[in-house]
């Protein structure tokens, strides 16, 4: 879940919004973390208790709703994956100087190769863990050497100069929007971790996944803040990579290219795997060809990116779009948590229900605002 969230969109969003908001972006991060917790705990617990995938749960809530949500998730996952492929292309560009389009083709080939391995699930998990650790270590290093103004960051995190609603929607959408909150939940089902006996492990996994993603977000925010506080301006063509170049020189730049590539490929894998997991219940024929559908999904994402271009806009837009899907999926899971035919005698914590409903209301309002006011500006920029 964490490495699915911490992709190139995550890195680019954090860098771009830190540039525009400065230390006040800390407030956006704090709010998004609180909303993320309400989303993740509700969704993962319901999936584990019901022992069903999200789309199956939704169909039990309202017949046909699961199919509708599956379409939304796949479309949102495609938006994410186009951005992930774009990020992988930028990673290859940093490392070897090839064009982003050529890099995207190489990254797609690598991701597809992983799914052609017989034990793809084990390969996926191990690869994601190793690359996630590398990413965290490198970002912490750059956050330290860039010497950010920690006191100012702490103050503005609770008393910001400005609040950017678009940034909140994008961050929440980029961390637990669209397919991402189901990535871990569905992987746990596949691993046989489900039912009441597994609730503690499920809760522990959800919290740790969010903790890892949040720590990476915070340290990257501090790294970028340290760079811009020194009066340095990141390159608009690849903002996060430019931050590492300004802070740690050419070695930092190349290392970040490796990290960006790793984050992108793990996110491509996570996005494709989870998105297709939403359609595998459409029939036995679909489930039997899961890996080939994943490969087709990755291929389509690559073709769209090469055709459209604009990698930075795509990376930010993907988070915003998936933030719009979140209220629908979360509200469905909360209703399911109180249906006996779905969760039997399980009693969902009242505080978690109220917390989740609050997140639904906030994200629906923020999503509507973004859709009407800001999304067209970003799309046609």
Is 36 within 8 Å of 209 (Cβ atoms)? Answer: no
Give me the residue spans of the domains in the chain. 2-379
Between 26 and 130, residue with greater pLDDT: 26
- Mean pLDDT value of segment 293-322: 78
- Mean pLDDT value of segment 127-132: 71
The CATH homologous superfamily of the domain defined by 2-379: Amino acid/polyamine transporter I (1.20.1740.10)
Q: Is the pLDDT of residue 134 over 90?
A: no
Structure tokens at 124: 């996926």
pLDDT score at 3: 65
pLDDT score at 316: 62
pLDDT score at 165: 83
pLDDT score at 313: 64
pLDDT score at 58: 95
Interval 224-263: pLDDT, tens: 999 999 888 888 888 888 888 998 888 888 888 887 887 7
pLDDT score at 371: 67
Interval 274-300: pLDDT, tens: 888 888 777 777 777 888 899 999 999
Share of the chain above pLDDT 70, in %: 89
Q: Is the pLDDT of residue 356 over 80?
A: yes
- Mean pLDDT value of segment 165-187: 81
pLDDT score at 309: 67
Tokens 């939403």 appear where?
Answer: 278
DSSP code for 371: I
Q: Is the pLDDT of residue 168 over 90?
A: no
- Model confidence band, residue 375 (pLDDT cutoffs 50, 70, 90): low
Structure tokens at 136: 């965290």
pLDDT score at 381: 52
127: how many CB neighbours lie within 10 A of its CB? 16
pLDDT score at 46: 96
Between 167 and 148, residue with greater pLDDT: 148
Q: Is the pLDDT of residue 80 over 90?
A: no
Q: Is the pLDDT of residue 326 over 70?
A: yes
Interval 81-124: pLDDT, tens: 888 898 889 899 999 999 989 999 999 998 888 878 766 657 66
Q: What average pLDDT does the structure give for the chain?
A: 85
Between 157 and 278, residue with greater pLDDT: 157
Instruction: Say whether pTM exceeds 0.85.
Output: no
Contacts by 126-132 with C-beta closer than 8 Å and gap 24+?
127/265, 127/266, 127/269, 128/3, 128/4, 128/266, 128/269, 128/270, 129/3, 131/3, 131/259, 131/262, 131/263, 131/265, 131/266, 132/2, 132/3, 132/6, 132/212, 132/266
HSE toward the beta carbon, residue 283, CA cutoff 13 A: 3
Q: Where are the alpha helices (DSSP H) in 97-231?
A: 100-116, 120-145, 150-158, 165-176, 180-190, 199-229
pLDDT score at 331: 96
pLDDT score at 290: 82
pLDDT score at 342: 96
- Mean pLDDT value of segment 25-46: 93
């Amino acid at each position: 879940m964490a490495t699915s969230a911490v992709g190139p969109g995550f890195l680019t969003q954090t860098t771009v919004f830190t540039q525009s908001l400065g230390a006040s972006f800390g407030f956006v991060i704090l709010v998004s973390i609180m909303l993320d917790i309400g989303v993740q705990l509700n969704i993962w617990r319901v999936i584990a208790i019901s022992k069903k995938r999200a789309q199956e749960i939704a169909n039990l809530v309202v017949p046909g709703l699961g199919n509708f949500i599956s379409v939304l998730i796949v479309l949102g996952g495609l938006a994410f994956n186009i951005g992930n492929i774009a990020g992988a292309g930028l990673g290859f560009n940093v490392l070897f100087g090839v064009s982003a389009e050529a890099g995207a083709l190489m990254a797609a080939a690598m991701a597809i190769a992983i799914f052609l391995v017989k034990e793809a699930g084990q390969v996926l998990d191990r690869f994601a863990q190793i690359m996630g650790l590398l990413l965290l270590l490198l970002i912490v290093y750059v956050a330290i050497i860039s010497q950010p103004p920690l006191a100012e960051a702490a103050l503005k995190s609770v008393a910001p100069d400005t609040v950017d609603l678009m940034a909140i929607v994008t961050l929440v959408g980029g961390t637990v929007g669209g397919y991402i909150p189901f990535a871990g939940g569905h992987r746990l089902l596949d691993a046989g971790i489900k039912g009441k006996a597994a609730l503690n492990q499920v809760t522990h996994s959800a919290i740790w996944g969010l903790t890892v993603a949040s720590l990476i977000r915070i340290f990257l925010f501090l790294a970028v803040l340290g760079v811009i506080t020194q009066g340095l301006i990141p390159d608009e063509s690849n903002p996060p990579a430019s931050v590492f170049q300004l802070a740690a020189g050419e070695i930092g730049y190349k290392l970040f290219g490796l990290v960006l590539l790793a984050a992108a490929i793990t996110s491509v894998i996570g996005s494709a795997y989870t998105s297709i997991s939403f359609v595998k219940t459409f029939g036995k024929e679909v489930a039997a060809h899961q890996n080939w559908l994943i490969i087709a999904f990755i291929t389509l994402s690559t073709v769209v990116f090469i055709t459209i271009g604009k990698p930075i806009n795509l990376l930010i837009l993907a988070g915003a779009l998936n933030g719009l899907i979140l209220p629908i999926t979360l509200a469905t899971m909360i209703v399911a948590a109180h249906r006996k035919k779905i969760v039997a005698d399980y009693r969902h914590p009242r505080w978690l229900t109220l917390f989740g409903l609050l997140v639904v209301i906030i994200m629906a309002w923020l999503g509507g605002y973004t859709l009407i006011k800001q999304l067209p500006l970003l799309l046609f920029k």
